[in-house]
Amino acid sequence: MAKAKATKIASKKHLARLERERRQTRTITGIAIGIVVIIVGLISYGILNETVLKARQPVVTVNGDSVTMREFQVQVKVSRQQYVDQYMQYYQFAQMFGIDPSTDPNLSNTLNQITTQLATATNIGQQVLDNIINDLLIRQYAKANGIVVTAADMDKAMHDAFGYYPDGTPTPTLTGTPFSYSTLNPTQYALVSPTGLPTTTPTETLAPTPTFDLNSTATTIPTMTLTATVSPIPSITPTATPYILSGFQTSYKTALTNYAKLGMTEADFKKLFFESPLYRQRVSDKVTADVAHTQEQVWARHILVADEATAQSIRQQLVSGADFGTLATQVSIDTGSKAKGGDLGWFGRGVMVAEFESAAFALQVGEISQPVQSTDGWHIIQVLGHETRPLTATEYSSAVSAAFSQWLTNQKTPATIVIASNWPSNVPSLPSIESAFADLYATATVYAKQNPTSATTPTEATTPTP
C-alpha cells in the first residue's frame, strides 16, 4: 500500500512572494493592454479624423453660417475637373487638325496657363473659398429680404439645363439693342466731317425678303411656265425626336454618376449647379435694379508718343492749325487707333486708364489737352463729343456685373468671416492632367482589346512635356 504524500506547508513568506508576483503580472498585463488600447485608439482617431471629423469641420464661417471642409474639397475637385476638361478639349482639338501644341504659340500659351493654374493648388482653393463666402453672403441677404428658391424653381432650372421642356420648347425672342446717333453741333462739324463719325457697335441688319407674285407669268424662261397641275414639293422638314421624361432622367443620372467620382452627392450637385446660381441671379436682380441704362460718355481722339518733348511739339502743331487726324496717322504709336486718325469712339468711365480718363472727361468739346502721361506713353487728347448715351446690351450687362461685384465687396466689410487656418493643407491635388491622360490611355486600351481587328483606334495622345 502506497504511502500518502506529505502535504507541503507553505510559509507566510512564500505566500507573500507569490501574491507579489501575481500583482506584478497583473500590473504588467494591464499596462500592456493599456498601451495596445492607446495605440489602437490613436490609429482609429487618426483614421476617423481624416475620414469623418475633419470633413465635418467648418472651413469658413460667415456671420455664423458655415461650410464644411468636405464641401470645400468637393468644390475644389469640380473646379479642377473643369480646368482639366478644358485642357483636354484643346489638346484633342489640336490632334484632330494635326497641330503640335508645343510649337503653336497661341495654343501652347493657353495650355501652359491651365497647367500653371492646376500646379498651384492653393490658387484654385482661394477661388473656391471666395465663391463660398460670396454664396453665404448672398443666401443671408436673400433670407433677410424674403427671396426664396422653391423646389419648382429648382426643377425648372434642371429641366432647362438638360434641354427638357415638358411644357413645350420656348420660342426665342429678339431683344433690341439701343443705339444713338449724335446730332453734331457747328463746333463738331468744324472738327470732323460727317463721314468721320465714331464707329458704333455693329447691329445685325435683316436683309429684305423678296416678295414673289405667284400669279405672274414667267417671261425669261418660257419653258418653265407653271400650271395648276404641278404637284406640290413634299416637305423635307426634319421631325425632332421627342426628348421625354425618361431621356431627361437618364441624362441626369449620368451627370450624377460622373460627379459622384469627385465625391459629390446629389444634394451637392443641386446646390452648386442650380440652387446657388438661382439665388445669385435673384439677389443680383434686386441689388442692381437701379443700374442706369444710360451713361455719361465722351467721344475722343488722341495721339500717343513715347516722350513728353515730342508730345509738346505735336500739341504746338495742332494749336497752330495742323490737322489732328493727319498727324495721328503719321506719328501716333497707338496701332489700334492711328489708322483711324486717333479716333477712339465713344467710351464711358472705367474703360480707359485713370490718367487718360480724368483728362478726357475734363475737356470741353474741341479742346486739346496738355500732354498726359500714362503707362502707355504721352497722350495729346481732343474731345469731339460729351453726352449721356444709352448703353448697349453688352455695356449694360458689364455695368450690372460691376455693380454686383461692388455690392459683394461692401457686404464683406461688416461681416464676421472666419477661415480655418489649415485649409491650404487640405486642398485636393486631383483630378489632374496626368490622371486625365491615364484615363484616356485606359479607354484606348479597352477599345483595342474589344476591337483587335479594327483599323482605327480612339484618339491616341502623348502626355505633353511641361
Q: How confident is the model at residue 379 (pLDDT cuts 50, 70, 90)?
A: very high
Does residue 322 have a pLDDT over 90?
A: yes
Does residue 284 have a pLDDT over 60?
A: yes
Q: Which three cell numbers stand for residue 431?
A: 483630378
Vertex 154: Cα angle to 239 and 67 (nearest 5)? 140
DSSP assignment, residue 307? Answer: S
Q: What is the mean pLDDT of residues 127-132?
A: 97
Question: Closest by alpha carbon to 392, among 184, 203, 198, 173?
Answer: 203
Question: Closest by alpha carbon to 421, among 58, 34, 25, 2?
Answer: 58
pTM of the model: 0.70
Half-sphere exposure of 172 (CA within 13 A, CB side): 3
Q: What is the mean pLDDT of residues 161-177?
A: 77
Question: In angstroms, rounded to a whole number, what is the distance separating the alpha carbons of residues 40 and 42?
Answer: 6
Does residue 120 have a pLDDT over 80?
A: yes
Question: In angstroms, rounded to a whole number, what is the distance separating the alpha carbons of residues 39 and 53?
Answer: 19
Higher local confidence (pLDDT), 228 or 346: 346
Q: Is 214 exposed, middle or buried (0-12, 13-18, 19+ CB in 10 A)?
A: exposed
Higher local confidence (pLDDT), 56 or 459: 56
Q: How close are the terminal C-alpha atoms of the chain, in Å?
A: 99
User: What is the CATH code of the structural domain delimited by 294-390?
Assistant: 3.10.50.40
Contacts of 56 (CB under 8 A, 6+ apart): 68, 69, 70
Phi, psi of 246 (to 5 degrees): -65, -35
Residues in the chain: 466
| Residue 377, phi-psi category: left (phi > 0), alpha (psi -120 to 50), beta (remainder) | left
Phi, psi of 182 (to 5 degrees): -80, 145
DSSP assignment, residue 402? Answer: H
Q: How confident is the model at residue 177 (pLDDT cuts 50, 70, 90)?
A: low
The fold of the 57-165+244-293+392-466 domain, in CATH, is Triger factor/SurA peptide-binding fold (1.10.4030)
CATH 3.10.50.40 segments of the chain:
294-390
Mean pLDDT of the chain, nearest integer: 82
* pLDDT value at residue 44: 64
Q: How confident is the model at residue 214 (pLDDT cuts 50, 70, 90)?
A: very low
pLDDT digits (tens, 9 = 90+) for 14-43: 777 777 878 888 888 888 888 888 887 777
The verdict on whether omega for the bond into residue 431 sits within 30 degrees of 0, i.e. cis, is yes
Higher local confidence (pLDDT), 27 or 339: 339
CATH 1.10.4030 segments of the chain:
57-165+244-293+392-466
Higher local confidence (pLDDT), 101 or 287: 287
Question: Closest by alpha carbon to 337, among 397, 347, 312?
Answer: 347
Higher local confidence (pLDDT), 420 or 178: 420
